């Protein structure tokens, strides 16, 4: 065993799995506590609201001694009673505020959608804090903006120029001074409803003529960010420009497809980068795809999907209740080409949907 690690945040299964496969004993503090989180952890504690997360972390740390802690979404700016392996709290704050992040991109001179003038439309509206793109929306006039703002009262937001194109990301690891790009991912979004810009999966690797430019920009951003360990740089690929959208100073939701496509272990890369050592860029071995399935209505999920692993991950417990639009589970596939992996993913999704009634 390499040591005992605590993984804490809203969702931790993907990081806990990578850490366990890297040889660590893992405990988790997690909102979901799905079945497969139990497979990769010695112990885990559930919390309901993010306000409960610090106390739950403290309880876990009183129960066990840890060599290091890794923060996922929702826990990036917590103060931990054990050594943090990842971006320091004093550095992470600017990347949890989209206006501060905008200023960082502008100072760095990378192509970022500009802040729109008051009264200018269409605009992309984004809450200043929050992950996953769940509340982002394109607003075409003053009436749409007033309605959108009424849905999230007292939530500060930014108004950005709309960047049209293909959503993508670059997974990097950084040591606080230098950075290495590991993979370029095509991102899958919800595309409908109030969560139209919400993350719903990825395809890795992403073949696009602007990939090299994205890699160069991502490494420049990651090296200048002060971040340590793994981080993701989100893009929208326009006609001839990769627009930089966000820095995610933590493990990303693309970890499953990156590790499957590149036959690598991102947790090991993360720990080594925090110690100063960056890996050589790995070579893709195959294509990998993952899509999150969401409830199309309120439902109680009675089926047990554990027998479908590893095709299925983030596996709910039978009898779990889901509200409409909540994530139920994730479905994955691999293949030798993009077309093949998407065909296999569609078949796998069809198989899993038979259990969603």
Which pLDDT value is given to residue 193? 72
- For residue 254, the model assigns a pLDDT of 98
Residue 60 in tokens: 């876990």
- 198 Cβ neighbours under 8 A, 6+ residues apart: 132, 133, 134, 189, 190
All residues at 6 or more sequence positions from 58 whose CB lies less than 8 Å from its CB, including other chains: 81
Q: Residue ranges of the alpha helices (H) in 229-301?
A: 255-262, 266-274
What pLDDT digit, counting tens, does each position of 9-31 carry? 999 999 999 999 999 999 999 99
Q: What domains does the chain contain, in order, with CATH numbers?
A: 4-85 (3.40.50.20), 106-160 (3.30.1490), 166-353 (3.30.470.20)
pLDDT value for 52: 97
Residue 291 · residue 259 · CB < 8 Å = no
CB 4 within 8 A of CB 286: no
What average pLDDT does the structure give for the chain? Answer: 96
- Mean pLDDT calculated for residue range 340-354: 97
The CA distances from residue 256 to 203, 206, 247, 263, 330, in Å, are 10, 14, 19, 10, 10
Cβ–Cβ under 8 Å, residues 165 and 239: yes
Residue whose C-alpha is closest to residue 255's, from 276, 277, 232, 221: 232
pLDDT of residue 192: 79
How many residues comprise the chain? Answer: 357
For the cut 90, the answer to whether the pLDDT of residue 130 exceeds it is no
Using the predicted structure, report yes or no on whether residue 258 has a pLDDT greater than 90. Answer: yes
Return the pLDDT at 162. 96
Rounded average pLDDT over 33-48 = 98
Mean of the pLDDT values across residues 330-346? 98
Where does the pLDDT of residue 134 fall: very low under 50, low under 70, confident under 90, or very high at 90 and above?
Answer: confident
Residue 357 is predicted with a pLDDT of: 78
pTM of the model: 0.96
pLDDT band at residue 80 using 50, 70 and 90 as cut-offs: very high
pLDDT over threshold 80, residue 194: no
* pLDDT tens-place string over residues 85-100: 999 999 999 999 999 9
Q: What is the pLDDT averaged over residues 186-192?
A: 91
Q: What is the dihedral of CA 10, 15, 20, 23, to 10 degrees?
A: -130
Specify the pLDDT at position 132.
Answer: 75
């Amino acid at each position: 065993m390499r040591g005992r690690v605590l993984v804490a945040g809203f969702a931790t299964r993907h990081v806990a799995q990578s850490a366990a496969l890297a040889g660590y004993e893992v405990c988790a503090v997690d909102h979901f506590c799905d079945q497969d989180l139990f497979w990769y952890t010695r112990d885990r504690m559930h919390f309901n609201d993010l306000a409960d997360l610090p106390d739950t972390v403290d309880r876990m740390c009183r129960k066990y001694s840890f060599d290091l802690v890794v923060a996922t979404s929702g826990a990036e700016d917590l103060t931990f009673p054990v050594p943090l392996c990842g971006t320091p709290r004093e550095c992470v704050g600017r990347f949890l505020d989209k206006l501060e992040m905008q200023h960082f991109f502008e100072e760095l001179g990378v192509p970022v959608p500009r802040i729109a003038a008051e009264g200018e439309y269409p605009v992309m509206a984004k809450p200043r804090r929050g992950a996953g793109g769940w509340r982002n929306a394109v607003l075409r006039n003053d009436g749409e903006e007033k309605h959108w703002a009424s849905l999230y009262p007292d939530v500060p937001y930014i108004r950005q120029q709309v960047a049209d194109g293909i959503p993508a990301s670059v997974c990097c690891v950084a040591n606080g001074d230098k950075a290495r790009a590991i993979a370029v991912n095509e991102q899958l979004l919800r595309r409908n409803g109030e969560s139209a810009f919400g993350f719903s999966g990825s395809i890795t690797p992403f073949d696009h003529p602007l990939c090299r430019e994205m890699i160069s920009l991502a490494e420049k951003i990651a090296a200048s960010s002060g971040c340590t360990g793994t981080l993701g740089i989100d893009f929208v690929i326009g006609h001839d420009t990769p627009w930089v959208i966000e820095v995610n100073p933590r493990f990303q939701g693309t970890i499953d497809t990156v590790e499957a496509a590149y036959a690598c272990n991102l947790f090991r890369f993360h720990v080594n980068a925090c110690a100063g050592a960056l890996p050589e860029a790995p070579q893709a071995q195959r294509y990998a795809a993952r899509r999150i399935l969401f409830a199309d209505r309120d439902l109680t999920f009675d089926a047990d999907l554990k027998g479908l692993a590893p095709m299925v991950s983030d596996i709910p417990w039978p009898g779990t209740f889901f509200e409409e639009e909540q994530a139920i589970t994730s479905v994955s596939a691999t293949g030798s080409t993009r077309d093949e992996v998407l065909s296999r993913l569609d078949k796998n999704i069809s198989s899993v949907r038979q259990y969603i009634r």
